[in-house]
Structure 1
Amino acid sequence: MAEPLSQPRSSSFLTLAGLALLVLGALGGWAFERQRMAGAVSGSGRAAMEKVVHDYLLTHPEILPEAMDRLRAKESQKQLAGIGSRLYEAYPGAIMGNPQGKVTLVAFSDFACTYCRQSEPALAALIAENPDLKVVIRHLPIIAPTSPVAAAMGLAAAEQGKYGAFHSAMFAAGRTDPASIEAAARLAGLDLARARTAAVQPKVQAELEANIGFARTLGINGTPVWIVGDQILQGAVGKDALAEAVATARKS
């Protein structure tokens, strides 16, 4: 599961319904075009062909999940292509795993996100098992009023080369109130005066705004979200799903 950005959880049914209609239309159009090219039907036969597809889907609804997964994959590829390489360019120091890794995983996260915190063991295991994995952290401070403050301090920690320690301390704390943020900063060994100055720099705010822009462009509506290769995985999907996506990206 994922904590929401702007789209309510109740919209998931409408999303699936919309995808089903898109699948139906796409399959009907494909079948009609194949038949038309073969000379089997005329333009007026499209409605009849779509009815055949409609009736088949009602009889065999089990094919819809696979079709919708493929449709989502194609949409993800289009969205990612529209952003290009910018998505994979980390804020200096906001990286986990191997900074020179050949495979890149982009993680949209919020220190106040319960599901992000629950995903930490999976992420740690994934990094340990994949020495060629580079994890680019993109803070999406959307959950709590203090999320932006915590995210800004995370980027300040990144500038001091101590992002990983601060990241672990924040999720271990489980809160993003000012006291927890300062305690995590001290535990990570930050120069607090320097970090406080860095956290309010325009480039930090620009980074957080850019992350929100990426999320909107990609249709991301909550955290955590994982992007690797041409796949977008939303929610606390677990290590196995992430490992499979990483392995697929490595082969491509």
Structure 2
Amino acid sequence: MNVIAKNSRLPLFIVALALAISALLGAYFFWRPAPETGNLQGEEVAQKASSSADVAVAAAGMSNEERNATEALVRAYILENPEIITEAVEILQQRETAKRLTSVQKEIVAPFPGAEAGNPKGDVTIVEFTDYSCGFCRASVADVKRLLTEDRQIRLIYRELPILSPASREAAAWALAAARQGKHQAFHDAIFAAGPPSAQSIRTAASKAGLNLSEAEAFAVSREAKTEIESNLSIMQQVGFNGTPTFVIGNQILEGALGYEALKAAVKKARDQG
């Protein structure tokens, strides 16, 4: 009976040991201090992890021999399957990013007036951070259009994130001007179709989109346009993503030209989660 009782408590130790390993990984990848500050944070996390393992050992009534055998087993598994370290780090990063996303969620889903598409009452909201100098953003245009065409319950919010060049910022400001005139989507499509933005291509795209050019030019240099762009840059820093395009779909943050199927799957996941 004692053997059965001990075996039934063994998973408790394994779980605690796994948590301890995750804590150590977190300490290494997320809280590595600068060389001049020493390694105090990492040591503190390691001590806490070791203490957690000690508590689990005591609760499971394990001997030192049993503990050593279990640690050897876990170590061997990690060495044979090192990819789980990368997987664990990715999960930790996703959780940390999700926490930061929660703090700005309301701000993200409140669009600049006119900078949206799809169904304004849709059950899933996609927020796309884009830069008109970004080739990957340009490559995503067709996939996003297809998604909106095939799924009429998606609300799409565009957030201008000019990070690649001065021309990016000028194009972003004109996109906001287009939004003010109710022609954001038309300008968005026209400027991407024109290739990398320039002073000339921006105004050509604005003409194709049917903007009042004098009004758009005045708004593009306004404080309101500057404030919106700075707000989007601040969101990027707060949430911690690295570039464009970045899609926020529910509690998911997806970076890069993902392709239609990946976007569709992300929408389904967000919808299933409610």
Structure 2, gaps ≥5 residues long: 1-24, 31-44
The one-character-per-residue Cα deviations of 1:49-105 (angstroms, maximum 9, x if unpaired) are: 777544421111243444334323312221111223111110000002222222111
SS in structure 2 of the partner of residue 89 of structure 1: coil
Equivalent residue, structure 2, for 1:58: 79
Following TM superposition, by how much is the alpha carbon of 1:140 offset from its aligned partner in structure 2, in angstroms?
Answer: 0.7
Structure 1, gaps ≥5 residues long: 1-17
Whole-angstrom CA distance in 1 between matches of 2:171 and 2:164: 11
Q: 2:121 aligns with which of 86, 100, 106?
A: 100
Which structure 2 residues correspond to residues 207-222 of structure 1 after superposition, within 5 A?
Answer: 207-222=228-243
Whole-angstrom CA distance in 2 between matches of 1:49 and 1:22: 25
* CA distance 1:146–1:38, change in 2 (3 Å): same
Whole-angstrom CA distance in 2 between matches of 1:52 and 1:228: 39
8 Å Cα contact 2:129/2:161 also seen in 1? yes
Larger helix percent: 2
| Amino acid of the structure 1 residue aligned with 2:110 | E
8 Å Cα contact 1:79/1:217 also seen in 2? yes
Following TM superposition, by how much is the alpha carbon of 1:129 offset from its aligned partner in structure 2, in angstroms?
Answer: 1.5
Whole-angstrom CA distance in 1 between matches of 2:117 and 2:123: 13
Whole-angstrom CA distance in 2 between matches of 1:122 and 1:189: 24
Equivalent residue, structure 2, for 1:8: none
The RMSD of aligned alpha carbons is 2.9
Whole-angstrom CA distance in 1 between matches of 2:71 and 2:234: 38
TM-score by length of 2: 0.76
Pair 1:116 & 2:128 matched: no
SS in structure 1 of the partner of residue 155 of structure 2: strand
Pair 1:167 & 2:188 matched: yes
SS in structure 2 of the partner of residue 101 of structure 1: coil
TM-score by length of 1: 0.82
Whole-angstrom CA distance in 1 between matches of 2:72 and 2:137: 44
Identify the range of structure 1 (63-72 vs 84-93) with the bigger mean alpha-carbon deviation. 63-72
The one-character-per-residue Cα deviations of 1:31-50 (angstroms, maximum 9, x if unpaired) are: 836545434379xx999977
- Structure 1 vs Structure 2: percent identity of aligned residues? 40
| Amino acid of the structure 1 residue aligned with 2:181 | Q
* CA distance 1:47–1:150, change in 2 (3 Å): farther
8 Å Cα contact 1:73/1:230 also seen in 2? no
Pair 1:138 & 2:159 matched: yes
Equivalent residue, structure 2, for 1:224: 245
* CA distance 1:147–1:22, change in 2 (3 Å): closer
The one-character-per-residue Cα deviations of 1:86-139 (angstroms, maximum 9, x if unpaired) are: 111100000022222221111110001011001111111111111111111111
Q: How many residues align?
A: 231
Whole-angstrom CA distance in 1 between matches of 2:247 and 2:210: 28
The one-character-per-residue Cα deviations of 1:135-167 (angstroms, maximum 9, x if unpaired) are: 111111011221111000000000100001000
| Amino acid of the structure 2 residue aligned with 1:219 | G
8 Å Cα contact 1:94/1:136 also seen in 2? yes
Equivalent residue, structure 2, for 1:241: 262
Equivalent residue, structure 2, for 1:198: 219
8 Å Cα contact 2:57/2:67 also seen in 1? no
